[in-house]
Structure 1
Amino acid sequence: MDSKQHLYLVDGSAYIFRAYHRLPPLTDPEGTPVGAVYGYTTMLWRLAEDLHKADGPTHLAVILDAGSKSFRNDIYEDYKANRPPPPEDLVPQFPLIRDATRAFSLPCIEEQGYEADDLIASYAREATRRGWDVTIVSSDKDLMQLVGKCAEPDDGIEGGCIDMLDTMKNQRIDIAEVIEKFGVPPEKVGDVLALMGDSVDNVPGVFGVGPKTATKLIQDYGDLESALAAAPSMKKSKLQERLIEQAEQARLSRVLVTLKEDCALPMPLDAFKLNSVPPEPLSVFLARHGFTSLLKRLDAGTGSPTPTTRLNPAKPVTAGANPQEGAARQPLPEMPAIDYDAYECVQTLAALEAWIARAANARLVAVDTETSMLDAMQADLCGVSLAIGPNQACYIPLGHGGSDMFAERPEQVPLEEAMALLKPLLESDAVLKVGQNIKYDLNVLARYGIELAPVDDTMIESFCLDAGRSIDGIGGGHGMDELSQRHLDHKPMAFKDVCGTGKKAIPFGEVLLPKATCYAAEDADVTWRLHALLDPRLSEEGGTRIYERVDRPLIPVVARMERHGIRVDREKLAGLSSQFAEAIGALEGEIHGLAGQAFTIGSPKQLGDILFDKLGYKGGRKGKSGQYSTDQSVLEKLAGEGAVVATKVLEWRQLSKLRSTYTEALQAAINPRTGRVHTSYSLVGAQTGRLSSTEPNLQNIPIRTEIGRQIRDCFVAEPGNVLLSADYSQIELRLAAHMADVPSLKEAFAHGEDIHARTAMEMFGTVDRDTRGRAKTINFAILYGISRWGLGGRLGVEADEAQAMIDRYFERFPGIQRYIHETLESVRERGYSETLFGRKTWFPRINSKNQAERQGSERAAINAPIQGTSADIIKRAMARMEPALAGAGLGHVKMLLQVHDELVFELPEADVAAASPVIERVMAGAAEPAVRLDVPLGVEIGFGPSWGAAH
């Protein structure tokens, strides 16, 4: 263990509330509620496991609130006066928290008149004066004022520093994270809190000043007093009036949020020294409350444990031979079966207000919207469903009734009144909103003036845990129905059973309320249950890092991109479509001439018969249906052998696809309300983590062809604006150089060399157009696990020559071969690959006896860590982009598209010079501080009136 002392201070009071609201109800054998106690106990367990790690605790104490009153009530009588009483089933768990702490043989500190935060601040300051480092186990925003504080040294000892640990998210909070949250460093957080106030603690603040305004004031003026002093000279506004009128209220708030750092310490720091946890009291506590799975991990059973038992058991290993099986996980209590009769249809304002109050008190609510159509940009809201626990769900109909003016409309809350009541709940920072594909609900509700936040998404939680993996024989998709059957053994009601199919189908708004309530409330209920099961798995199975740092922050960002949309030139599209139609007709004539007869080119059977029976080309393969294969690889092989008709068919297929997919489909996709095209991005569409685009798909437009450029020219900026394209340069090769530790490639990237020319020199000893082109092909093909036959086909050489090139490549760059070998060995053993940010991609067929399945999995497994890391990096860049632009006074710059390694923005041309360095800086530094790369990330920026011109 490192000689430096490291004190962990656990904010026990805050943690029990978080555990209570995030875990499902649980009772012990005596019927006492223990759900929060279970969450608290597992947290202490994880901390104890870190005991022998380099950054783990040497000293630890749990700090609790001794009562509801403190010295702040003497300053301000109404401090915390609005806090509701704790939930009834949480009250008996408070003393059990103290029992759990004592069972771990840990100090439990509380002091009348002081809050836990003050004791934590005082102990932290004393420890740093001694040169100790301090980790505060909490996510409390008030405690973020302490982060990074290094005390002045005593007697020449170097002062220690303070960070925080959010065990729910398994995330460290340092100065960078505080700045990301508040926009100011930790020492200024108190000033921001004083301005914005706190409704939970009843800190008044300045009325009407929210987090963004408070941050801006402190950024502009430096601190609270300076902002208040500047108020008289500010531009006349409501903000100016309130700052002047409520200055003393702000100063009072500053006192209330300031932590007391000089409390008398009830117990000396040395008493917090942490040793191996004695198993005896802990085993008794676990047995008494029915925590049998933890008891098994203690390896003590219910009898006398051995003295050497420690809380650091070996990590469970997922056998590579059967990686599709679920990983070892902490079992959670069973939930009651779905009970449709328990659901409530909310049809009055009073009932709605009651549900909103229940949801606010629960602090976690599953939310789902029912709409008139699937397109979130055009759909009308039919209703909203909420769930706060198993079978505790409701449906709020808002747009039900017949489609004509004479149709009878059922009793329901008026839409505008319902939205006004729901808005504070759905926007409250104190209530977590959980959804299944919640991006859709974000976009629907945004049209009604509601900014849904904060959010969790069960679909994305599942993706972060099980991408590529099937469990218990059920497929590996992440839709609600599939997740429900896989995890809950419940098949939800089908939409077709509610609305019908074909000509008899009706809009959801015409469904009778009893049936609509069962369907809609079930969606929210199932979502709540899935979250209760999946969310704890994130921390147990290592998914928290990727979920919290990469995927979850992206949800509102992508939703806004979809709402922005992009303008397309309808006339130019129509003209291009006509050109394609003429070219397609000409190609049909040429193909029929080469074939010697007319036939349906789009028919694989007719084309196969022409190619292999009539024209006599070799290599035709018939499938089980008895017809020849005419897929892309077959046609490319024939074209490479000189079959002109195959070349023409490939051209015909490409033009036909581009015409139907883009020049025709894009015209139909223009939103009549906005005049723009709004694609839909899926955060779970690609197994490696890449975003996928649908309706329309904007990610398959050819990049380097003239036809692709013509299509991109149809995507245009609004008058007075330009489109700006920011593209990572060869990011996958750069990541390969880092991950495989290839010195020559890292050096080349560091010096800005032409990487393909460097490879050509290494491989062939000379650089010309031919060798550079071959080197480029090899560079990318090797990273995709290409075979000798695949590379030979791409380069037009025999398989043996291609193998010689592969061997030479590995000889010149041995790190690449080592990376491939180690990656495959790891995936075969664990069943999954992992990116630099911890994203897992499962490969259940990596050890298959079927050669084709096995080799396909191996090729994908080689590239998944690289492509997945690339996807993670651009996602992090996207999540940071809007705050960075806003901070530079460029909040009007809109991010419109993400296409693989490229981001597309719309902005006034006059702002290009200011925006470009901000965009480049965010993209180039997106990996940090989580990952520090050995190679720079190059970003190429261009702009113009169209997407094509920006390249």
Structure 2
Amino acid sequence: GEAFYVTIPEDQKEARTIVEEFKVLFENEKTTKIGQNLKYDMQILRNYGVMLKGAIFDTMLAHYLIDPETAHNMDVLAENYLNYTPISFSELVGKGKKEKNIRDIDLNLVKDYACEDADITFQLMEKLEPEIKEFNLGKLLHEVEEPLSYVLADMEYEGVKIDEQALSVMSKELEQESLRAQTEIFEIAGQEFNIGSPKQLGEILFDKLKLIEDPKKTKTGQYATGEDILSRLANEHEIASKILEFREYQKLKSTYVDALPKMVSKIDGRVHTDYRQTIAATGRLSSNNPNLQNIPIRTEKGREIRKAFIPRSEEYEILSADYSQIELRIMASFSGDESMTQAFKEGVDIHANTASKVFKVPLDQVESAMRRKAKEVNFGIIYGISAFGLSQNLNISRSEAGEIIEAYFTEFPKVKGYMDDVIEKARKQEYVETILGRRRYLRNINTKNFTMRGFAERNAINAPIQGSAADMIKVAMINVHNWMKQEKLKSKMIMQVHDELVFDAHKSEIDLLTTKVDEFMKTAIQLEVPMEIGLGRGNNWLEAH
């Protein structure tokens, strides 16, 4: 019911003088700060020489843990928890062309907006805190997610240096490759057309070339020409693989090669992504501008993009550290399967090991085709793959895929037991949990709708594994970051991508950093199965990966 608003003048020097008065409060480690999306506030305060310290209560992060799949913005939370509709920012400043600078708005209106913002956040904390306790989420919130926002704020502040010259060369190469692929597509099609138009593409592939007898159509009656359709046709029809190639070149060029230089900060010449903790329901981080999580890794041209991520100066190298097969190791640990666990403990190639068991051949007689099939099964099982899904991925008959899955479950019975138990438990409580108690609600697990129930069951198997992998790397990030700060290292942690951490490593510290990062990542959360870390260093991210 009571709040205060301190107006800050536009002049940077005057603004700093006022902010300076609050420094003692913000930097007091004994005071808890309550806020909504505090990582943003940390960044703003840092620009004024204030480093937020101490415990925090972040209402956005708290709600994310309570209900990961709904909206976490303050206005929605206020309506749901307080039955109150706050003044929205667009109401205050207007929208589009009519949007005004907040400094031009009547001070009384700004005061009301800002004070309400603070008061609502405080009231939300009072509502969310009991729920956090009730669902046993306190440890996850206060020891993982909130400390992680400090780590991410530092990583975002540091940013990563981009080799604009390399990107410029790459852009020209992709342009030429696109034109080459386009010419080849026109030759096979026997005419020119707009490859970017799904309508024209569908007509060429299915009316003119008749690649398949009964092509799938979209709701609008057009032929479906998505990546999944083309991938299935690619092995038999050259035009489909050429179209996929063409699309890849176009996407790489527009999404990364031409876009990254525009994101470089004029202040320090680096790219500063925005890490988001509350987007993915599994617990994984996502990032924006640029989206680092989507930088392709499967194709050679996609991997080339990583060449453009370089150290900040000649005194540094890029160090990459990533968890090797983390989800399979977690699956082995959760299921308690002796055979898988043993293979990981002995450092045996897990895919060859699976192939040996499924195809009943000695380990040294496993052929590459067998290993490839076993790899698809290993990773597919984590996502609750069906015989149909596996047959699509491997381009084999559904009956052969079914036999492979059956053989897999015969050889690894505890994996099947684990999957059945997880689904059974999920049916009873309508949620699953990760190793640190992160919840994923599965509201359709008991539905009569076969498709929706199947999706929920696959999530029940995968969410605890993928979520525990996310828990693990988050704990590792906090431990590495705290150690680096304590040792006052010149090296910086600069990126997190799925199961990988990337560092700007000072050459004088790289050996120490490599040893300690390996140690912290392996020991973040102790499991029955040991974690393996792939470590690499180089003059760019690709070299280090």
CA contact (8 A) 1:884 1:922 kept: no
Is residue 433 from structure 1 mapped to residue 28 from structure 2 by the alignment?
A: no
Equivalent-residue separation in structure 1 for 2:369 and 2:119 (angstroms)? 61
Q: Distance in 2 between matches of 1:617 and 1:664?
A: 34
2:412 equivalent to 1:813: yes
SS at match of 1:940: strand
Matches within 5 A, 1:274-285: none
Q: Does 2:127 correspond to 1:533? A: yes
Q: CA deviation at 1:489?
A: 2.2
Q: Which residue of 1 aligns with 2:342?
A: 747
Partner Cα distance (1:442, 1:884) in 2: 20
Give the match for residue 448 of structure 1.
48
Verify: 1:693 aligned to 2:287, yes or no: yes
SS at match of 2:543: coil
Separation in 2, partners of 1:950, 1:742: 33
The Cα shift of 1:484 comes to: 2.0
Q: CA shift at 1:773, angstroms? A: 1.5
In structure 1, the partner of 2:187 is: 593
Letter in 2 for 1:835: T
Match of 2:476, SS state, is helix
> 1:404-439: CA deviations, max 9, x gaps?
xxxxxxxx9941221111111112223211111111
Calculate the aligned-residue CA RMSD, in Å. Answer: 1.8
Deviation by residue 1:218-261 (Cα, 9 ceiling, x = unmatched): xxxxxxxxxxxxxxxxxxxxxxxxxxxxxxxxxxxxxxxxxxxx
Show the 5 A alignment for 1:103-252: none
Deviations along 1:607-652, one digit per CA (max 9) or x if unpaired, are: 2232222332334222332222222211112223x22222122112
Q: How does 1:282-297 map to 2 (within 5 A)?
A: none
- Counterpart amino acid of residue 456 in structure 1: F
Question: What CA deviation, in whole Å up to 9, does each residue of 1:358-411 have, x standing for no partner?
Answer: xxxxxxxxxxxxxxxxxxxxxxxxxxxxxxxxx32233221469xxxxxxxxxx
1:833 pairs, out of 432, 444, 463, with 432
- Residue in 2 that maps onto 1:792: 391
Give the whole-Å Cα distance in 2 for the aligned partners of 1:877 and 1:637.
Answer: 39
The Cα offsets for residues 70-104 of structure 1, whole Å up to 9 and x where unpaired, read as xxxxxxxxxxxxxxxxxxxxxxxxxxxxxxxxxxx
**1:422 paired to 2:22:** yes
TM-superposed CA distance for 1:941, in Å, is: 0.8
CA distance in 2 between partners of 1:553 and 1:848 (Å): 38
Q: How far apart in 1 are the matches of 2:107 and 2:10?
A: 8
Look up the equivalent residue of 2:82 and give its one-letter code. Answer: L
Structure 1 counterpart of 2:4, which letter?
Answer: C
| Letter aligned with residue 65 of structure 2 | C
Aligned length: 538
Q: Residue 512 of structure 1: CA displacement?
A: 2.5
1:866 CA displacement: 0.6
User: Which residue, out of 774, 777, 780, partners 2:373?
Assistant: 774
Alignment deviations for residues 639-681 of structure 1 (CA, whole Å, 9 cap, x no partner): 23x2222212211222211111111111000001010000111
Conserved 8 A contact 1:894-1:907: yes
Distance of aligned partners of 1:429 and 1:884 in 2 relative to their CA distance in 1, 3 Å threshold? closer
1:675 equivalent to 2:269? Answer yes
Q: Quick one: which amino acid aligns to residue 148 of structure 2?
A: L
CA distance in 1, matches of 2:187, 2:83: 59
Q: Which amino acid aligns with 1:612?
A: F
Q: Is 2:139 the counterpart of 1:545? A: yes
Equivalent position of 1:711 in the other structure: 305
Deviations 1:170-193 (A, max 9, x none): xxxxxxxxxxxxxxxxxxxxxxxx
Query: What amino acid is aligned across from residue 505 of structure 2 in structure 1?
Result: L
Q: Which residue of the partner structure matches residue 351 of structure 2?
A: 756
Match of 2:483 in 1: 884
Partner secondary structure for residue 394 of structure 1: coil
Once the two structures are TM-superposed, the CA of residue 514 in structure 1 deviates from its matched residue by: 2.2
Correspondence 1:392 to 2:11:
no
Name the counterpart of 1:33: none
TM-score, normalised to structure 2, is 0.95
Alignment partners' CA distance in 1, 2:156 and 2:187: 46
Give, in angstroms, the shift of residue 800 of structure 1. 1.1
Structure 2 partner of 1:897: 495
- Tell me which amino acid in the other structure corresponds to 1:920: D
- Please point out which of 509, 512, 520 is paired with 1:914: 512
Which residue in the other structure is 1:14 paired with? none
CA deviations on 1:695-733 (whole Å, 9 max, x unpaired) are 110111122432133110110002221010011111111
Deviation readout 1:818-876 (Å, 9 max, x if unpaired): 11111111112111110111110112222233322222222122111011001100000
Change in 2 beyond 3 A, CA 1:510/1:578: farther
Q: What is the DSSP-based 3-state SS (H/G/I as helix, E as strand, rest coil) of the residue aligned with 2:370?
A: helix
- Asked whether the equivalents of residues 723 and 904 of structure 1 are also in contact (C-alpha less than 8 Å), the reply is yes
- 2:446 is paired with a residue whose SS is coil
Change in Cα spacing, 1:725 to 1:543, as seen in structure 2 (3 Å) is same
Cα contact 2:232–2:395 (8 A) shared by 1: no
Find out whether 1:459 has 2:60 as its counterpart.
yes
4+ residue runs of structure 1 moved beyond 4 angstroms?
none
CA contact (8 A) 1:760 1:774 kept: yes
The residue that corresponds to 2:524 in the other structure is 926
SS of the residue corresponding to residue 392 of structure 1 reads coil
The change in CA–CA distance for 1:731 and 1:492 in structure 2 (over 3 A counts) is same
How far the C-alpha of 1:580 sits from its partner, in A, is: 0.9
SS in 2 for 1:396: coil
Q: Distance in 2 between matches of 1:494 and 1:649?
A: 45
- Tell me, in whole angstroms, the C-alpha distance in 1 between the residues paired with 2:79 and 2:208: 51
In the alignment, what sits opposite 1:504? 98
Change in CA separation of 1:608 and 1:489 when aligned onto 2, cut-off 3 Å:
farther
**How far apart, CA to CA, are the structure 2 residues paired with 1:837 and 1:797?**
39
Q: 1:882 to 1:785 in 2, by over 3 A?
A: same
Question: Secondary structure at 1:699's aligned position in 2?
Answer: helix
Which structure: greater helix fraction?
Answer: 2
Aligned-pair CA distance for 1:493: 2.5
Query: Measured at CA, do residues 396 and 859 of structure 1 come closer, stay the same or move farther in structure 2, by a change above 3 Å?
Result: same
Match of 2:316 in 1: 721
> Against the structure 1 CA distance between its residues 586 and 538, is the aligned structure 2 distance closer, same or farther, given a 3 Å change threshold?
same
SS at match of 1:397: coil
- 1:253 match: none
1:886 positional shift: 4.4
| Greater relative contact order structure (CA < 8 Å, 6+ sep) | 2
Q: Deviations over 1:98-153 (max 9, x none)?
A: xxxxxxxxxxxxxxxxxxxxxxxxxxxxxxxxxxxxxxxxxxxxxxxxxxxxxxxx
> Conserved in 2, the CA contact under 8 Å of 1:397 and 1:413?
no
Percent identity at matched positions?
Answer: 41
Quote the Cα distance in structure 2 between the aligned partners of 1:508 and 1:943: 46
Query: Any conservation in 2 of the 1:741–1:815 contact (CA below 8 Å)?
Result: yes
- Rounded Cα–Cα distance in structure 1 between residues aligned with 2:281 and 2:85: 25
The CA deviation string for residues 151-170 of structure 1, in whole angstroms up to 9 with x for no partner, is xxxxxxxxxxxxxxxxxxxx
Q: Distance in 2 between matches of 1:731 and 1:853?
A: 28
Separation in 2, partners of 1:886, 1:424: 21
Question: 1:819 and 1:724 mapped to 2: Cα distance?
Answer: 37
Partner-residue secondary structure (3-state), 1:594: helix
Q: Please say which structure displays the higher CA radius of gyration.
A: 1
For 2:71 and 2:197, locate their aligned partners in 1 and report how far apart those are by CA, in whole Å.
31
Q: Does 1:865 align with 2:475?
A: no
CA separation of 1:797 and 1:667: change in aligned 2, threshold 3 A: same
The 3 A distance-change label for structure 1 pair 740 and 515 is same
8 Å contact kept, 1:398–1:413: no
Deviation for aligned residue 1:538: 0.8
Distance in 2, matches of 1:947 and 1:827, equals 40
